[in-house]
């Protein structure tokens, strides 16, 4: 594990793959060992945020103990150490996404900031004007609705929405008919946080590109579940948050195609993003610095890179197989609970199960099973239009990660049966 701790300057470094063993994996995450309400924690709220392996926690301590300084500014030893660790972290993210270059990797606060950055700068660049249209889908997180809506309010553009069917799959039959000379952007989620649906983003991108329309993919719920290759996906922008993939909060990534990032204006102004400043005029740094005004979240970037290295220490095939089996097992076991209905039954899903139980409010479900040490999410999951589509106030959602086991599912199902008994 020691080899994972440092973010070294070793592009495409090969880490010896570890065999997947769920008991050993659980031990990598110290928080999974705690008790909640006197019961061992069963953490099933991974779509909200993932837990952090010890190696990530250690990397943060290591940075503040041995390398802390500001980046890109000083010539002293520590500043160079911090800059090198931060820029090597960018290299790790580039490798993780299979981007062409590190200049395509912009560090931001998270997926929300990345989408706001694109919506705002596109608007300021005049790419989207009054009467133009942006296509999103009915299953977007609020983070991929509100920034576009704010932009539309400001400049008179319009949102078009790809509908979803009862299984929670996008209805793409009419997607191509939505395009006209007014269409300026497509922004869709790769995997839905409340339904689990994995969207056919290759088809979406191919159609959009036929009309020369750029595509942003919100990968927040995809990155922790399967490998991402932005060149294969052929998307123009890809965004995700570090905390959804075993890294720290407050750090995220905007991948963008160089030709677009070069054309877009800076999002914010300040230090680190300039070449020359006078009172009359400012010239800006090249990518990626142009979009990173001010002191960045240095330790966040480093922690994220260590999280990616940790993930890369396993064979993805093992993780995929484990999560697929877990989803299948959880779906079967949940459906054995009387009156339980799963919301989101798409053919291709990440390991997310949203559900309702006849006659019991999701909030009651969440509160009661918390007393059994089980952490799930209840509410609208920042996807109110999905709740409106299914005519529901809320759902309960169990979302899994590769550190969850079938035993965790059993504890959840037992806790749900206790809820059922309590409500008669």
Ligand X SMILES: Cc1ncc(COP(=O)(O)O)c(C=O)c1O
Annotate each residue in 238-277 with x if it binds ligand X (CB under 6 A) or - if it does not, as one string: ---x------------------------------------
Write down the least CB distance from residue 381 to ligand X, Å. 7
Write down the least CB distance from residue 147 to ligand X, Å. 11
Q: Which of 43, 52, 89, 110 binds ligand X (CB under 6 A)?
A: 110
Q: Assess whether the previous peptide bond of 133 is cis (omega < 30° from 0).
A: no
Q: Which range in 63-71, 109-117, 167-175, 314-322 contacts ligand X by CB under 6 A?
A: 109-117
Q: Is residue 398 a contact residue for ligand X (CB under 6 A)?
A: no
Are the C-beta atoms of residues 7 and 89 closer than 8 Å to each other? yes
CA 343 – CA 353 distance, rounded (Å): 7
Q: Which range in 160-168, 206-214, 215-223, 320-328 contacts ligand X by CB under 6 A?
A: 215-223
Q: Is residue 189 a contact residue for ligand X (CB under 6 A)?
A: yes
Are the C-beta atoms of residues 304 and 296 closer than 8 Å to each other? no
**Nearer to ligand X among residue 69 and residue 382 (C-beta):** 382
CA 57 – CA 247 distance, rounded (Å): 9
Q: Is residue 138 a contact residue for ligand X (CB under 6 A)?
A: no
Q: Is residue 378 a contact residue for ligand X (CB under 6 A)?
A: no
Q: Is residue 143 a contact residue for ligand X (CB under 6 A)?
A: yes
Contact set for ligand X, span 8-37 (CB under 6 A)? none
**Nearer to ligand X among residue 179 and residue 291 (C-beta):** 291
Q: Is residue 376 a contact residue for ligand X (CB under 6 A)?
A: no
CA 206 – CA 226 distance, rounded (Å): 21
CA 19 – CA 151 distance, rounded (Å): 48
Q: Is residue 198 a contact residue for ligand X (CB under 6 A)?
A: no
CA 208 – CA 179 distance, rounded (Å): 8
Write down the least CB distance from residue 63 to ligand X, Å. 21
Write down the least CB distance from residue 199 to ligand X, Å. 11
- How open is the CA angle 101-251-85, to the nearest 5 degrees? 60
Q: Is residue 193 a contact residue for ligand X (CB under 6 A)?
A: yes
Write down the least CB distance from residue 45 to ligand X, Å. 11
Helix (H) or strand (E) holding 398: strand 395-399
- Choice among 123, 152, 235, 382 that is catalytic: 382
Q: Is residue 233 a contact residue for ligand X (CB under 6 A)?
A: no
- Residue with structure tokens 């109110």? 384
Helix, coil or strand: residue 332: helix
Helix, coil or strand: residue 397: strand
Write down the least CB distance from residue 144 to ligand X, Å. 6
Count other Cβ atoms within 10 Å, centred on residue 310: 24
Are the C-beta atoms of residues 41 and 29 closer than 8 Å to each other? no
CA 211 – CA 142 distance, rounded (Å): 26
**Nearer to ligand X among residue 51 and residue 241 (C-beta):** 241
Q: How many CA atoms within 13 Å lie on the side-chain side of 181?
A: 0
Write down the least CB distance from residue 112 to ligand X, Å. 3
Are the C-beta atoms of residues 73 and 204 closer than 8 Å to each other? no
Q: Which range in 37-45, 76-84, 213-221, 278-286 contacts ligand X by CB under 6 A?
A: 213-221
Burial 195-210 (b: 16+ CB within 10 A, else e): bbbbbebeebbebbee
Q: Which range in 137-145, 205-213, 266-274, 409-417 contacts ligand X by CB under 6 A?
A: 137-145
Q: Is residue 136 a contact residue for ligand X (CB under 6 A)?
A: no
Q: Is residue 197 a contact residue for ligand X (CB under 6 A)?
A: no
Q: Which of 50, 51, 102, 220 binds ligand X (CB under 6 A)?
A: 220
Q: Which of 169, 218, 323, 408 binds ligand X (CB under 6 A)?
A: 218
**Active-site residue 152, yes or no?**
no
Contact set for ligand X, span 31-70 (CB under 6 A)? 47
User: Which of 58, 40, 24, 15 is closest to 375 using CA atoms?
Assistant: 40
For the stretch 223-226, contacts whose Cβ atoms lie closer than 8 Å and that sit 24 or more positions apart, written own/partner, are 224/46, 224/50, 224/311, 224/401, 225/191, 225/320, 225/323, 225/350, 225/351, 226/198, 226/316, 226/320, 226/350
Residues touching ligand X, count (CB under 6 A): 14
The two tokens of residue 314 are 């396993």
Write down the least CB distance from residue 193 to ligand X, Å. 3
| DSSP calls for 33-69 | G-EETTEE-EE-BTTT-----HHHHHHHHHIIIII-S
Beta bridge partners of 239: 218, 254
Q: Is residue 111 a contact residue for ligand X (CB under 6 A)?
A: yes
Write down the least CB distance from residue 16 to ligand X, Å. 31
Q: What is the set of active-site residues?
A: 382
Residues at the interface with ligand X (CB under 6 A): 47, 110-112, 141, 143-144, 189, 193, 218, 220-221, 241, 382
């Amino acid at each position: 594990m020691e080899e994972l701790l440092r973010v070294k300057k070793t592009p495409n470094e090969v880490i010896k793959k570890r065999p997947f063993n769920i008991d050993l994996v659980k031990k990598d995450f110290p928080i999974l060992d705690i008790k909640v309400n006197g019961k061992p924690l069963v953490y099933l709220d991974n779509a909200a945020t993932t837990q952090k392996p010890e190696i990530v926690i250690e990397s943060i301590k290591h940075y503040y103990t041995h390398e802390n300084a500001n980046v890109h500014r000083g010539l002293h030893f520590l500043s160079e150490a911090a800059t090198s660790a931060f820029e090597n972290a960018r290299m790790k993210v580039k490798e993780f996404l299979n981007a062409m270059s590190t200049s395509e990797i912009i560090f931001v606060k998270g997926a929300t900031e990345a989408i706001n950055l694109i919506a705002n700068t596109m608007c300021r660049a005049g790419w989207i004007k009054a009467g133009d249209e942006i296509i999103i889908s009915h299953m977007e997180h609020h983070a991929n609705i509100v920034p576009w809506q704010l932009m539309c309010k400001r400049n008179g553009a319009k949102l078009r929405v790809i509908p979803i069917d009862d299984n929670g799959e996008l209805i793409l039959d009419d997607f191509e008919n939505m395009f006209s000379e007014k269409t300026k952007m497509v922004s869709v989620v790769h995997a839905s946080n409340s339904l689990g649906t994995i969207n056919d983003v290759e088809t979406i991108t191919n159609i959009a590109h036929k009309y020369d329309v750029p595509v942003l993919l919100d990968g927040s719920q995809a990155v922790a579940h399967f490998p991402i290759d932005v060149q294969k996906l052929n998307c123009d922008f890809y965004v995700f948050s570090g905390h959804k993939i075993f890294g720290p909060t407050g750090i995220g990534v905007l991948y963008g195609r160089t030709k677009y990032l070069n054309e877009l204006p800076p999002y914010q102004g300040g230090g680190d993003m300039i070449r020359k400043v006078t009172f009359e005029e400012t010239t800006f740094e090249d990518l990626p610095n142009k979009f990173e005004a001010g002191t960045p979240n240095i330790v966040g970037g480093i922690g994220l890179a260590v999280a990616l290295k940790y993930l890369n220490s396993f064979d993805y095939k093992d993780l995929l197989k484990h999560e697929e089996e877990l989803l299948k097992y959880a779906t079967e076991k949940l459906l054995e609970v009387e009156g339980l209905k799963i919301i989101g039954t798409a053919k291709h899903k990440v390991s997310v199960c949203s559900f309702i139980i006849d006659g019991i409010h999701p909030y009651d479900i969440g509160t009661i099973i918390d007393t059994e040490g089980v952490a799930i999410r209840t509410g609208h999951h920042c996807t109110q239009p999905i709740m409106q589509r299914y005519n529901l106030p809320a759902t309960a959602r169990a979302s899994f990660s590769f550190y969850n086991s079938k035993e965790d599912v059993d504890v959840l199902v037992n806790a749900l049966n206790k809820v059922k008994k309590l409500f008669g």
